[in-house]
Structure 1
Amino acid sequence: MDHTDVDNVKPTEECHEVHNVDESKRLVGQLYSRDQAWYFYKGFAREHGFSARRGTTRLNVEGNVKTQEFCCSKEGFQVSKVNIIDRQRAHTPVTRTARLESAVSKADIDEAIALKEVGVGTSQVMNYLTQQAGDYHNVGFTHKDLYNAFQRGKAKEIIDGNVNTLIAYFDNKKHDDPGFFMTYSVDESGALHNLNWSDSTLRSDYTCFDDVIAFDTTYKDNLYGRPIMPIVGVNHHHNTIVFATSIIADETSQSFEWVLQNVLEAMINKSPISVVTDGNRAMQRAIKYVIPYAKHRLCSWNLSRNVQANIGDPKFTTTFLKMCESMNASLAIALKHKKTYLDVVRAIEDGISRMRMNDLKANYLSSQTKPFQITKLVDLESHAVEIYTCESFRAFQEELQRETLYRIQEEIQSLSDECQNYILPKYKEKNRTFEISFDSRTKTLNCSYTKFETVRLPCRHQLQVLKHLDYTYLPESLIQSRWTKDTKASAPSFVDLNMPPEVMQIARFVALRATSSRLCYFASKTDAFFKPARYEMKRLTEEFENSFGLNDSVNRSSVVNNV
């Protein structure tokens, strides 16, 4: 440390005007040489009634001065006690540091970006650069400087056309898939604010499995730190499926409302029965405003704490926990260290492609294999094997096994001859009873357990009554198409002439996709199958394109834009 008295140093000609305090405001924020900075601070000290001295000097690896501190001459020394009676406020030393140069050099930022691209965090990058320089003081910039440099790089990428590239990518998607849906909003400066997209396959899936949807905003591992919100559900194989994806500016009620409104628009304004979220209050307000009649449930730990107590069915909790956790795990891996919006979109598309391949495999297994039957109710099991997918049958089978824990204790005849009520206590828990009402005319069974209303599969109590009534099959009232093998092929025909054309188109698309999925699966097995299948599909595609006049570029553009 250099404690030279300020009055013993003479100013140089180069900086004789710098210590003029009247001009101090004009000089704030400028870069100084060490001498200029010293005389400026000395004048500042004299003007404010204290003396100054040189503080800590830091050198770089070549031995040159990197930073120099100037401070009050009393800084660091103990102050004598003040008389309690005549107390005066002690002088508080004011320290000013003149930074020679703290900007991150291009070489440093290039090296830092290279490390970031392979997954190294900002703190780790700073530690690495510190080790390379030999000491933290030799680096020449702080952790905050490095962070700001990264942020400026993000902004520059947006300015350079990242968003325009993404919109062009989606335009091409629309060209290849007329059912592709995309919408976005911009802020006052014209920057991307919110974005939502869904392809025709995702939209058709929604028509089959729209009873329950789930979403949260867990994923922010992208260049812009934007929340990524996939809207997901569960299909008839009990696998997670994606209906749409949104990238939003923030987690406010306005952003969530924007997402819900545009998702409903993509899905022909067909609202879900239930919405599962992570408990975000802003999201709850948006749900109540946009889809007020939907039941709002919580997932993750909120789901296990609240819904299980309310519904009384652990399977409900488990199903949606698995759904949220599966999507979390898939996206966490797929989106790790993705750089641009386009990177994020492609990563999500890759994940959806893997889900679709799993769906094809599950379709094949359900159609070509039969699960083992393990109860003595052979007829009921056989019927369930024929109609349910493998995973849905296993869930049914678990309930069928548990029906033996119950017995009919009492039959109560209602005023109507067609209706009968049954009281079922549980084995060794006689105080725990359930009531079933059976209508012989409509063959409907309503249970106080309400599992069927929640999960849409017959419960153990309903199955006990069917056994009591000697049923050898499941009545139609207990079969929900969303868990059956033919759920996609049995999509609504929409014979109502008042139904919008776009709804009818999606319904036809669902039926065609279900019919062709097995063809695609088998054709992809070998090259011998693949070539003729592709040839026939291309031939039909060209034939249909000609019928729409899509070979003409003008007509093609018109048709695409009008879909």
Structure 2
Amino acid sequence: MMMSYSHFGDVVCFDTTCKKNKAGRPFGMFLGVNHHKQTTIFGAALLYDETAETFMWLFETFITAMSGKKPKTILTDQDAAMAKALTIVWPETHHRLCIWHIYQNAAKNLSGVFERFREFAKDLSECIYEYEEEDEFLDAWEMMLEKYNLKSNEWLIEDRRYEELTYDFKATQSFLKLSVNIEILKHASSIYTPAVFKMFQVELGKAYDCVLSICGDDGMLTKYKVTHHKRRFHHSVEFNSSNDTVICSCKKFEFSGILCSHALKVLSSKNVLKIPTQYILKRWTKYAKHGEREVVSKSSLNEDAKASMAKRYRDLCRLQTQVATKAAMTEQTYEIAMNSLYKVIEDVEAHMR
């Protein structure tokens, strides 16, 4: 769990929707996604209640177990106590709401609206997915409240704003493999895991259905308007030829870590045949677990001696597990590891004499 978190703990989903036994004690799980797009478990806890104090204790304990590394982003449900605890304990971490929980709450509290109005589900989805600018979202939200007479609905009038989640990944399941020999596709297949490559391939396929038009050009910086032929909205893309930087208003890269179809359309028009280095996230590559050393935990001056020894033991076991997993693959790597470990034992024993 700790090893997985060290590689893929940049984004964490925390969920307490699962209840345990008749008392209904919440069972919380820290989940993430690895470089194969598989769910991975970072930790779990059986809690007594769901108060802010309990969540504060849990988040502090979790980080202590993970050598002090905090996630960049955490996804949760709409629990107010949890939000309060995160603000206090992890103030630097971006807190976002899970789209699944938002829809579950909508279905629960607005079941009558869903039943009476066939178009409501479509309008709600558009509010969440289609609008990039805050003003556009607020206007569409206001129009939806007016259309379905929901202005006085207390459940909807909460002091919260739902951060948009921009793309539906279910589309990746039905896209056929490209049979053409494209350079940027070959590059993607050489670096990404199969699951992430499939996502990239879908975006590249969408790029061929996009229409490109230049809005401004001052030499190095070019601005484009990119429109998908089935969409009524356009996206704004900026390309800097000095460093192959491409920024799209859809925020696909910021959201999921791969370039969007709009950015790929622009890169293609500029004859960029490989994915620029700055847009290759290591966590999505075949080498996500290679190279970088994990930060080992250091003992504080006031820490108990037994606690310090336990931390050191944990760090050594974690590293040893990595060595064993990789070295067992071949006879040659096995011999290298065994000889090195015997040498380490000799050095440690010599130091202890």
Distance in 2 separating the partners of 1:375 and 1:270: 42
Distance in 1 separating the partners of 2:88 and 2:235: 36
Matching residue within 27, 33, 54 for 1:255? 54
Matching residue within 80, 89, 108 for 1:290? 89
> Match of 1:401?
205
> Match of 1:278?
77
Bigger drift between 204-213 and 307-316 goes to 307-316
SS of 2:211's equivalent in the other structure is coil
> Match of 1:381?
185
Deviation for aligned residue 1:421: 1.1
Matching residue within 211, 216, 223 for 2:15? 216
User: Closer, same or farther in 2 for the Cα pair 1:397/1:426, shift >3 Å?
Assistant: same
Contact 2:51 2:82 in 1 (8 A): yes
Equivalences for residues 189-338 of structure 1 within 5 A: 202-221=1-20, 226-299=25-98, 301-304=100-103, 308=129, 310-315=163-168
Bigger drift between 310-319 and 397-406 goes to 310-319
- The gaps in structure 2 that reach 5 residues or longer are 107-124, 131-162, 300-311
> Match of 2:282?
481
Contact 2:214 2:222 in 1 (8 A): no
Letter in 2 for 1:315: D
SS of 2:206's equivalent in the other structure is helix
Contact 1:489 1:510 in 2 (8 A): no
Distance in 2 separating the partners of 1:282 and 1:475: 42
The percent identity for this pair of structures is 27
1:188-234 C-alpha deviation (Å, 9 max, x unpaired)? xxxxxxxxxxxxxx223223212210112234435986433221111
Deviation for aligned residue 1:464: 0.5
Equivalent residue pairs, number: 283
* Alignment RMSD (CA, Å): 3.8
Contact 1:297 1:303 in 2 (8 A): no
Letter in 2 for 1:424: V
Contact 1:316 1:455 in 2 (8 A): no
1:419 aligns with 2:272: no
User: Closer, same or farther in 2 for the Cα pair 1:490/1:280, shift >3 Å?
Assistant: same
1:380-400 C-alpha deviation (Å, 9 max, x unpaired)? 110000000010100111111
Distance in 2 separating the partners of 1:483 and 1:258: 32
Distance in 2 separating the partners of 1:450 and 1:509: 40
1:460 aligns with 2:261: yes
Choose 1 or 2 for highest CA Rg: 1
Contact 1:274 1:296 in 2 (8 A): yes
Deviation for aligned residue 1:377: 5.7
1:547 aligns with 2:334: no
- The gaps in structure 1 that reach 5 residues or longer are 1-201, 320-371, 524-528, 556-563
Letter in 1 for 2:282: S
Equivalences for residues 27-426 of structure 1 within 5 A: 202-221=1-20, 226-299=25-98, 301-304=100-103, 308=129, 310-315=163-168, 374=178, 376=180, 378-414=182-218, 417-426=219-228
Matching residue within 455, 459, 470 for 2:271? 470
Distance in 2 separating the partners of 1:219 and 1:493: 32
1:358-415 C-alpha deviation (Å, 9 max, x unpaired)? xxxxxxxxxxxxxx9615461011000000001010011111111112121224114x
1:58-92 C-alpha deviation (Å, 9 max, x unpaired)? xxxxxxxxxxxxxxxxxxxxxxxxxxxxxxxxxxx
Deviation for aligned residue 1:538: 6.0
User: Closer, same or farther in 2 for the Cα pair 1:314/1:289, shift >3 Å?
Assistant: same
Q: Which has the higher contact order (CA 8 A, sep 6+)?
A: 2
Bigger drift between 266-275 and 507-516 goes to 507-516
Deviation for aligned residue 1:419: 1.4
Letter in 1 for 2:59: L
User: Closer, same or farther in 2 for the Cα pair 1:514/1:407, shift >3 Å?
Assistant: farther
Deviation for aligned residue 1:533: 8.0
User: Closer, same or farther in 2 for the Cα pair 1:247/1:536, shift >3 Å?
Assistant: farther
